[in-house]
């Protein structure tokens, strides 16, 4: 039986992919990750895998030919994803050079390769189309993802097997607690509200008023659906945006998160203004470390994704956040 390889398998999106593959009856999964941060193992406890390898050991065995004719597809989610990191050598080694080597093996052996890119390649925008003219990353993380996308573009015309890259916008959902400060804003707002009865957002930036910065927040449920849909359609190759196509303010995400928590307590929803007046939302100074490195607006242009054949609707933020909060509450109750 051939392996489906998931790199970054113990991470946020990787573990959700493994769980979704299990739901399809696929358990011959080779999970690849770096468990230096050991707590990530919890994301895989409820999953079924056939084997686990450290990311460096996997690459060594791959290059040595240990997996010849044993891999059906590679879902490459592993990355160094700290957008505030400054070690460019480590970032490029992990996100660019490593990916190039895995892709080369896949091309040499006719193996479909689906991978995680990022909306960070776009930088300050304002247009978010899969075109070189729109790409100007603001940090070395975004640059490392941009480098690999550029490599993929050079390989695509002579590809031997599927290459599908997805530029994830702001993904939120279950199994991201291990990410700490790099977890989604929904995760942070949920935990702030549960602990203090209020949430904190940044003051205005980039010409936007306090909390009115806008991002394309996409549920991990949709991210997984898109990945699996493309896995089932190996004729599709290219690079696509993966968001909802709709920018939402941080204020609106805060209101959705708080109201989902209130619903769980049997309380009625409140409008943002009422929540703000009640002190449930407060603003903090914009971090100096993020000046010039922060995307105050993102919104995925989904034209190419739709043209490629993915037609399913994306979860609206209100519904997606409500599902996420219910999952977080259930998880908290289960670990109590």
**Calpha distance 244→251 (Å, rounded):** 17
Does residue 334 surpass a pLDDT of 90?
Answer: no
- Residue 60 contacts by C-beta under 8 Å, 6 or more apart in sequence? none
User: Is 179 annotated in the active site?
Assistant: yes
- Which range (54-58, 143-147, 239-243, 284-288) has the least confidence? 284-288
Average pLDDT rounded to a whole number, residues 238-251: 98
What's the predicted TM-score (pTM) here?
A: 0.95
- The pLDDT tens digits of the residues spanning 162-184 come to 999 999 999 999 999 888 888 99
User: Is 294 annotated in the active site?
Assistant: no
Q: pLDDT-based confidence at 335, cuts 50/70/90?
A: low
- The pLDDT tens digits of the residues spanning 299-329 come to 999 999 999 999 999 999 999 999 999 999 9
Q: Mean pLDDT, the chain, as a whole number?
A: 95
The pLDDT score that the predictor gives to residue 210 is 95
Give the closest residue to 223 by CA, choosing from 119, 109, 107, 149.
119
Which is catalytic among the residues 96, 141, 168, 172? 141
With beta carbons less than 8 A apart as the criterion, state whether 116 and 168 touch: yes
The pLDDT score that the predictor gives to residue 82 is 72
Q: Kindly state the tokens that stand for 191.
A: 């935990």
- The pLDDT tens digits of the residues spanning 8-45 come to 999 999 999 999 999 999 999 999 999 999 999 999 99
Give the closest residue to 70 by CA, choosing from 8, 4, 164, 163.
4
With beta carbons less than 8 A apart as the criterion, state whether 218 and 205 touch: no
The pLDDT score that the predictor gives to residue 49 is 98
| Structure-derived torsion over alpha carbons of residues 84, 88, 94, 96, reported in degrees to the nearest 10 | 110
Which is catalytic among the residues 179, 198, 225, 283? 179
């Amino acid at each position: 039986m051939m392996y489906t390889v998931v790199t970054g398998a113990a991470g946020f999106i990787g573990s959700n992919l493994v769980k979704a593959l299990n739901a399809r009856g696929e358990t011959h999964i080779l999970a690849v990750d770096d468990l230096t941060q050991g707590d990530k193992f919890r994301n895989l406890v409820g999953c079924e895998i056939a084997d686990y390898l450290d990311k460096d050991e996997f690459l060594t065995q791959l290059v040595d030919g240990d997996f010849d004719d044993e891999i059906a597809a590679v879902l490459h989610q592993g990355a160094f994803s700290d957008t505030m990191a400054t070690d460019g050598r480590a970032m490029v080694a992990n996100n660019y050079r490593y990916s190039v080597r895995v892709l080369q093996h896949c091309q040499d052996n006719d193996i479909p390769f689906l991978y995680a890119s990022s909306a960070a390649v776009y930088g300050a925008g304002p247009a978010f189309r899969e075109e070189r003219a729109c790409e100007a990353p603001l940090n070395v993380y975004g640059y490392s993802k941009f480098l690999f996308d550029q490599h993929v573009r050079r390989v695509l015309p002579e590809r031997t097997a599927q290459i599908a890259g997805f530029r994830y916008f702001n993904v939120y959902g279950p199994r991201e607690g291990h990410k700490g400060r790099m977890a989604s804003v929904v995760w942070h707002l949920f935990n702030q509200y549960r602990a203090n009865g209020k949430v904190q957002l940044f003051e205005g930036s980039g010409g936007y008023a306090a909390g009115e910065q806008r991002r394309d927040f996409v549920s991990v449920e949709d991210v997984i659906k898109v990945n699996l849909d493309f896995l089932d359609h190996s004729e599709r190759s290219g690079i696509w945006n993966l968001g909802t196509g709709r920018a939402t303010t941080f204020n609106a995400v805060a209101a959705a998160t708080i109201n989902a928590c209130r619903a769980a307590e049997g309380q009625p929803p409140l409008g943002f203004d009422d929540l703000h007046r009640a002190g449930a939302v407060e603003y903090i100074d914009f971090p100096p470390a993020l000046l010039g490195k922060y995307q105050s607006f993102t919104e995925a242009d989904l034209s190419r994704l739709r043209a490629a054949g993915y037609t399913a609707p994306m979860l609206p933020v209100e519904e997606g956040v409500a599902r996420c909060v219910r999952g977080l509450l259930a998880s908290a109750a289960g670990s109590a």
